[in-house]
Structure formats: C-alpha cells, structure tokens
Amino acid sequence: MAVDLETIARLVAFDKGKAVPIASDLQIVIQPDALVLCCIALAGEDTTVHVVACGSIGKPAEFLSVPDPRFRDDQYDLFAWIGQRIEQYYADCRRRGTHPQIWVSSDAAVKHLDVLSDRLRYNRERADVRRLGELLTYATERFPVGGQQALYAATSALRQHYATGQQAAEDAHLGTLLTWIDPPRKTNILAAVALAEQTPMGMKTDPEFDRTKLDPVVRAYNEARRAGASTAQLKRRAQNIHDALMTVVSPIYDATQAAVEILRTRWPRRLLTAPQLQDREAQEFDNFMQSRDNGFFLPTRDKPKAAALKLTEREIALQTVEAAVCIGDRVALAKARLAGRILEGTIENPRRVWVRPRVFESTFDLISSQRVLRIRPRDELILLTDPRQRVLVRNVERQGRRTRVQLEIIKGKNAVGLPSASSIQVFTPYVPDWNSLTQARIQLAERLAVQPWTHAENGAMPQRVPSQLPEPADLLAAVEALR
C-alpha cells in the first residue's frame, strides 16, 4: 500500500496544529443566492423537524419551531412554511435559467433531508407538504451524483479543500473542522477541538440537552395542553421550547454560513470546468421541474431500466468530474500521479516511421519514475495538455526504479505532432467529455428498449443460438476490442 497525499496532508496538519489545503482550486461552484437550511429533528423521530433556520448565504436566518413535532398539524404547518421558501427560491432560479443550491451543515443533515423528501412526497393529507417533499427530492436525488451543485454539506465541501490532523470520521463534525481551519490562538488545538465537539452540529440535539433542558419544557407544554390551558399559557410554554431550540440551531446555522464564507473568500481560483458543471446542473434542474409541471410521478423505487440509466449516469458523472478536477487542480493531479492513474515522464526516441504511401507510424518512449503505475498494453491515453492527441500503450517494461512505456500516437499525429525528446509529458486515461452523458442515455435507451430476460416477469432463459461469425484468430484481442 503506497503513501497517499491525504495521509501526507494530515501529517502536516497534525504537525502544524492547523488544517492545510488539499486542493489548489475551488472544487465547487457556490451560487451567490444559495440557501442555507438547518433543520433539527426530535431525537428518534427522523421524519420530523422541531426547529428550522433558513436564509440565503451571507444573510441572517429566519427561524421557526413547533412545540412538539409529534403533533401532526403543527408539524405540517412548519413543513408548509419551509415549502413556501423553497418554492419561491426554486421559482426565482427557474426565471433566471440557473439552478438552486442548498447548503446544510453535514452529511447527517443531508440524510435528514433525504428521509424527509422520501416521506413527504407521498403525503396524502396536504398538498403543500407533498410539494415540499417533491422539491427536496430534486436536491437529495442529485446529491450522490458526482459534480452535482444542488446540495452541499458544509463538512464535505470543506473536506474537499482542507485536510485536518484528525481522523476523517471526525471531520464529519462541522465544529471541529472549523476549529482546525481557524484554530483559536494560544490554545492547544486538540483541547479546542474537544471543546468544539461538544456542540452538536448535525440534525439532532445532544442527549444531555434533551434530558436536562428540552424534555422538561416539552413535557410542561404537553401537560398544559392536556389540561386545557389557556392560549397565553400555551404560548409561553411554546416560547420556552423555542428559546431552548434556538441555542442549538443558531450555532449550526452560523457555522454553516462560516463554512461557505471560508470557501467563497479563501479560494479565489475556480475550476476551469465550473461553467460546464453549472450548465449541467441548470439542465438537470430544468428537466426535473418540467417533469413536475407535467405531473410525472416520483417513484419510491426505480424500475430496472430507470435504475440502469441512473447508475450509468452516476458512473459517467463521477468519471467526468474526476477527469475535470484532474485537469484543473494541481493537488488532484499530484494525487493521480502518486496513485499511478496518470502517466508522467520524460520522452525518449520519438520517431516517425513510414508504413505505406501517406501513412506513417508515430511512436515514442516515455520513461516514468512513478512508483505506482496502473497502465497496461492496449490502454488508450490522452495528452493532458492537448486532448486532441490520443496514444496507445504498446508495451510496459519495468527497468529498476523506472518504467519504460512504449506509446504510439493514434490520433492527433498532425494536429499535435510528436513530442520532443527529453520533454516531460503527462497522459491521462480520461478527459471530461460533457457530451458522454447524452450519448450514454441514447445508447442505453436503444439497448434497453427490450427488457432483458433477467428482469422480465417470468423471464425464461433464452435458447442458445450459436454465432454465425467465424471464430477470431486472436480471442483476447477481440475481447479487448470491446473496451
């Protein structure tokens, strides 16, 4: 197992007592009108929201709570309140032809929104609650897709840019992460982090807080309600609950805003491919909202064909984004180099050999000193600095600490030409192809037009039909050609 850049960065951070950058460019695209949404659930009841803080980035929050989210009507009213704000925001984005972006504090908060969207979009009792579920579904369904811009967890976003001197799992707490990024002066960082950890930053309250502060006031409210107390008394008790919850949700909202501010102000260089990411997101948003306008149903579970499409989309999205990041971000490139996913080295023996009239073969050797290399003969690579050139790996030979890779130019012989001897070149297996998703969708639609027998109801194994084609002379080459 080779040492990776992540480990190095954490070592350096631990040594310095401060988080260090793990990227050179801003890896995400922050929408100037993004919405910060902090919802706190009642412990154990994941489909509730006890209090919510909601506001645009850089702006103070609006707060709303319900005394006890287990009372359905009160809870629905709160959902409707959130729904109004999100509806308005989405409508503004549609008008401007852009896409919405929601920020939450952490991955736990993302999961909470996911649970809510799953449940609420099938609500039969209130259309406004159902609508909230649908709108949230856009963000939560986009979240797992690489390069998406719809929903961000502040912790994940910061982790893409900073490495701390603690375990990756501990970075899931926004408070500790912010402490590492901006440690208090003259304080032991570990002590500061231990203190920060005690403030909840997810979607739940602390059990100790629940026992000593929240439970007594919620009980008092419920007792008063059962006893038929006056409106004034109920209102006062509800205020006690709200005051208690504010001490939880306010810090989370502030911390999330602080995270966005750090990324906005300390990372001036954007990814080169940021515009493409935004365009793609805007397109996805538009498609989603069109489907809602046209009354298309959001299924609980995808059927096999839809699932195949979605899986392919995710794979392609991830590949595209990784390739995009690699091109633009120096740290990502360094990671890829260390992991052997890209090939870098010095050129030797560039040669152009006549094959037949007007046909030449352009080959060269690349000497790499990379410890780890993940390439093999017949792999196709692309020149990082000019994607018009494609090369084919003809041979890979380890020579002590170095590796000699024989390459043949298969595309861009004239457009780009042979590299000069002793120059340093970098080749990558992927470059971002922003059209690949569309092509994949078309291809899959054709291939899956007829449901495969494996997924058909009572699907029987088809009869064997021997191929009429002659057996290939080189079976391995024929298989490789399918790549």
Partner 1 sequence: MSRAPSDRLRQRLAKISEQHRSALDSFERLLANPNASFAELDAADAAVKKLSAGRTHLMEDLRLAQFEEPDRFGVYRGRAGQRPMREVVLDMADELGVPVSPRLISDYAVATLGLSIPPTRFGSLRRDEERAYQRDAHARPAWLTPAINAAGLAAIPRLIASSAWEPERRLIAARTLRVNHLKALLALLKKSSTADERVRSALVTPIGRFATWLPVGAKLNLDEVAEKANAELASIEQEDKERRIAAARELMKLTPAFQLWGRPGLIEGGEMSRARAIG
Partner 2 sequence: MRASTVDSRIAALRGSLGPEEPGARGLERVARNPECMRLRALTIVGVTPATAAKEIYGEPAREEQSPFALALGNQFEKNLFDNSAAKLLQLYRDAGRLTTNECKVAVIPDLAPPLSSDPRKLLVSLGRRQSETIRLLRAKAAGNKDAPNIIIKPRMFVRLLGIGHAIEPDALIAADADRFYRPIEVKSYPDRAGKTDSADVRSACRQAAVGVVALREAIREFGFRDVDVAVPAIGDLVLRVPGSMSAKLRSMTLRSEAASLERAIDEAPRNLDELEAMLAPGASLDDPLILDQIPTSYRTSCKEHCALAGKCKQQACAAGEPAVIGDMARELLAPAGTVTRALDLMNGRGVPPRTAEEVALAEQLQEAFSEYRRAV
Which residues of this chain interact with partner 1, rule CB under 8 A? 212-213, 216, 220, 227-230, 232-233, 236, 240
| CA quadruple 442, 444, 447, 453: dihedral sign | negative
Residue type, 14: F
220 makes contact, choosing from partner 2, partner 1, none, with CB < 5 to 8 Å by partner type, with partner 1
Which residue is associated with the tokens 């408070």?
175
46 makes contact, choosing from partner 1, partner 2, none, with CB < 5 to 8 Å by partner type, with partner 2
Least distance between partner 2 and beta carbon 108 (Å): 9
* C-alpha to C-alpha distance for 312 and 440, rounded to whole angstroms: 8
Q: Are 335 and 322 in contact (CB under 8 A)?
A: no
Least distance between partner 2 and beta carbon 231 (Å): 25
Least distance between partner 1 and beta carbon 384 (Å): 57
> Does an H or E element contain 78, and which?
helix 72-96
85 makes contact, choosing from partner 2, partner 1, none, with CB < 5 to 8 Å by partner type, with none
User: Would you call 289 helix, strand, or coil by DSSP?
Assistant: helix
Please give the C-alpha separations between residue 397 and each of 365, 368, 372, 380, in angstroms, as whole numbers: 11, 10, 13, 17
* C-alpha to C-alpha distance for 260 and 241, rounded to whole angstroms: 29
- Return the number of the residue (99 or 121) whose C-beta is nearest partner 2: 121
213 makes contact, choosing from partner 1, partner 2, none, with CB < 5 to 8 Å by partner type, with partner 1
Least distance between partner 2 and beta carbon 462 (Å): 30
Least distance between partner 2 and beta carbon 3 (Å): 4
Q: Are 383 and 462 in contact (CB under 8 A)?
A: no
4 makes contact, choosing from partner 1, partner 2, none, with CB < 5 to 8 Å by partner type, with partner 2
Q: How many CB atoms lie within 10 A of CB 345?
A: 20
Q: How many CB atoms lie within 10 A of CB 355?
A: 8
Least distance between partner 2 and beta carbon 24 (Å): 6
- Return the number of the residue (35 or 49) whose C-beta is nearest partner 2: 49
Closest to 351 measured CA to CA, from 337, 361, 359: 361
Cα 131 to the center of its chain, rounded Å: 25
Least distance between partner 1 and beta carbon 123 (Å): 13
Instruction: Note the residues at the interface with partner 2 (CB under 8 A).
Output: 1-12, 14-15, 20-21, 24, 42-47, 111, 114-115, 118-119, 165-170, 190, 194, 204-208, 210-211, 214-215, 218, 301, 330-331, 333-334, 337-338, 371
- Return the number of the residue (38 or 326) whose C-beta is nearest partner 2: 326
- Return the number of the residue (227 or 465) whose C-beta is nearest partner 1: 227
Give the long-range contacts of residues 410-414, CB within 8 A, separation 24 or more: 410/380, 412/383, 412/386, 412/388, 413/360, 413/362, 413/389
118 makes contact, choosing from partner 1, partner 2, none, with CB < 5 to 8 Å by partner type, with partner 2
* C-alpha to C-alpha distance for 39 and 46, rounded to whole angstroms: 11
- Return the number of the residue (216 or 412) whose C-beta is nearest partner 1: 216
Q: Are 378 and 407 in contact (CB under 8 A)?
A: no
234 makes contact, choosing from partner 1, partner 2, none, with CB < 5 to 8 Å by partner type, with none
- Return the number of the residue (85 or 213) whose C-beta is nearest partner 1: 213
